[in-house]
Amino acid sequence: DAKTTQPNSMESNEEEPVHLPCNHSTISGTDYIHWYRQLPSQGPEYVIHGLTSNVNNRMASLAIAEDRKSSTLILHRATLRDAAVYYCILAPGGTSYGKLTFGQGTILTVHP
Amino acid sequence: KAGVTQTPRYLIKTRGQQVTLSCSPISGHRSVSWYQQTPGQGLQFLFEYFSETQRNKGNFPGRFSGRQFSNSRSEMNVSTLELGDSALYLCASRPGTGGYNEQFFGPGTRLTVL
């Protein structure tokens, strides 16, 4: 499985934008880039995913580098509820087998 | 739509016993995956079921098994429990099998082995 590299931790202040980076230099052409987050004592929650183009949804934006070897999850205005572990994951395209390979993720701390 | 539900939420067993965990996916979702989460190893994939067939299996011993029923509900079983099996067991469902399909996770079952 292609691997991703994320910083162990990041900090932000409430209502400020947060940019969470992810490196995936061995990504294949059909791999989708997924982001999940896990709040304390909960199961992971889907945030966003993309293939080649930048994506926006109600939770966040995903900026994908032109060579697809890195991506950035953008939280436009961090809230205390955004404090969580954020996972960047590569999911094989086509008929995949549902296997998500989670790394250690980035622990995001949001200060009031 | 109701989310993914897992029962029971908490379970305490002793070494050598066996345990069965249950997962009900979101209505209409046919794929169910199971994960184990521990502080030391993080989140690790156990297996995925689609249309009652196991499609992929992670690197776990044969004591870990599962099945899926015709209504897409899934169970996983762990036999001959060991202390190291203490973990949060998560179930996730998704509508299809494409890599673009996001997975929806349940709250998990916290298993403690004494």
Summarize pLDDT for A8-49 with one digit per residue, the tens.
999 999 999 999 999 999 888 888 899 999 998 899 999 999
Cα A16 to chain centroid distance, Å, stands at 18
**Cβ–Cβ pairs < 8 A, chains A and B:** 75
Q: Average pLDDT of A54-67? A: 95
State the DSSP code for B85: G
The C-alpha of A60 sits at a distance from chain B's nearest C-alpha, in angstroms, of: 15
Residue A63 has pLDDT above 80, yes or no: yes
Cβ-based neighbour number of residue B91 at 10 Å: 30
Helix, strand or coil, per DSSP, at residue B3: coil
The sign of the torsion formed by the CA atoms of A49, A51, A56, A57 equals negative
The C-alpha of A79 sits at a distance from chain B's nearest C-alpha, in angstroms, of: 22
The tens digit of pLDDT for each residue in B52-107 reads: 999 888 899 999 999 999 999 999 999 999 999 999 999 999 987 766 778 899 99
B60 touches A: beta carbon within 8 Å = no
Cβ-based neighbour number of residue B54 at 10 Å: 14
pLDDT at site A3: 85
Mutation to test the A interface, candidates B41, B90, B94, B103, most A Cβ within 10 Å = B103
Cβ-based neighbour number of residue A107 at 10 Å: 16
Strands (E), A1-112: 9-13, 18-23, 32-38, 45-50, 55-56, 61-64, 70-75, 84-91, 106-111
Is A35:A88 a contact under the CB 8 Å cutoff? yes
Q: How far apart are CA B106 and CA A41, in angstroms?
A: 11
